[in-house]
Amino acid sequence: MAVPRILLVDDEVSIQRAVAPLLRSRGYEVEVAGTGKDALAMVAARMPDVVVLDLGLPDLEGTEVCRRIREQSAVPILVLSARVSENDKVSALDIGADDYITKPFGPEELLARIRVILRRAATEEAPEAGRLQAGGLVIDYDRHRVLRGEEEIRLTPKEFELLSLLARSADRVLTHRAILKAIWGPNAVNQTEHLWVLMGQLRKKIERDPANPRYLVSEPWVGYRFASGSVDT
């Protein structure tokens, strides 16, 4: 199996010295770029398996780097930034970032997020034939059926559409705007209340405890993600 290659894009020497050795110690091949232009050149020359990207670069905005990478590739992008505002998170995710971690961060959290991204990328390259299983939940896309154990959960078309959308991007945060656009169209991107109602209905059917969801997880003020590693209890 090929060793995953990670491109770390950050101009802070302290981050380079901390993160690059950490990743190498876990068996990853790591390249480092200190500017946005260097990062774009390195992506074009040798596509990495994951890009870990800071937003505060000296030459280009990290969001612009993210946008340019996404124009040419679907390589997973993990934003690692000191910017904590929800607007920054939403902007990065809407442009095409797969995940977002704020500084300071725990090394084990970073490693876990990278493992999730790599696992999802491998799954997308070799998808199951119309079927996804997460814990005790099974989504059968071909038959538009959802099972929890032996029990069939009956969903409305919109509920199934929302669940399918999130599950196909398992462990990736989808912003409210992205979900609204996908399900109701571009004119509905500001009608968040529609999504809240639909999510509430779906959680009541899918989750054992809708108040403490295991599968349909909220990212406050940003969006939702489907937690593929969940296990019913």
> Over 70: is that where the pLDDT of 124 sits?
no
- Are 55 and 39 a contacting pair, CB within 8 Å? no
Query: Which residue in 114, 112, 147 sits closest to 132, CA to CA?
Result: 147
Q: How much is the pLDDT for 55?
A: 93
Q: What DSSP character marks residue 53?
A: E
Domain ranges of the chain: 5-125, 131-226
State pLDDT tens for residues 22-73. Answer: 999 999 999 999 999 999 999 989 899 999 999 999 999 999 999 999 888 8
Average pLDDT over residues 80-107: 86
Residue 50, H or E segment: strand 50-53
Beta sheet of 145-148, edge-to-edge order: 131-134, 137-140, 145-148, 151-153
Q: How much is the pLDDT for 48?
A: 94
Using DSSP bridges, classify how beta strands 137-140 and 145-148 pair: parallel, antiparallel or unpaired: antiparallel
Share of the chain above pLDDT 90, in %: 49
Cβ atoms within 10 Å, residue 84:
10
State pLDDT tens for residues 210-219. Answer: 999 999 999 8
Q: Could you tell me the CATH superfamily of domain 5-125?
A: Response regulator (3.40.50.2300)
State pLDDT tens for residues 92-103. Answer: 888 888 889 988
Q: Which fold has domain 131-226?
A: Arc Repressor Mutant, subunit A (1.10.10)
Q: How much is the pLDDT for 26?
A: 95
Average pLDDT over residues 110-137: 76
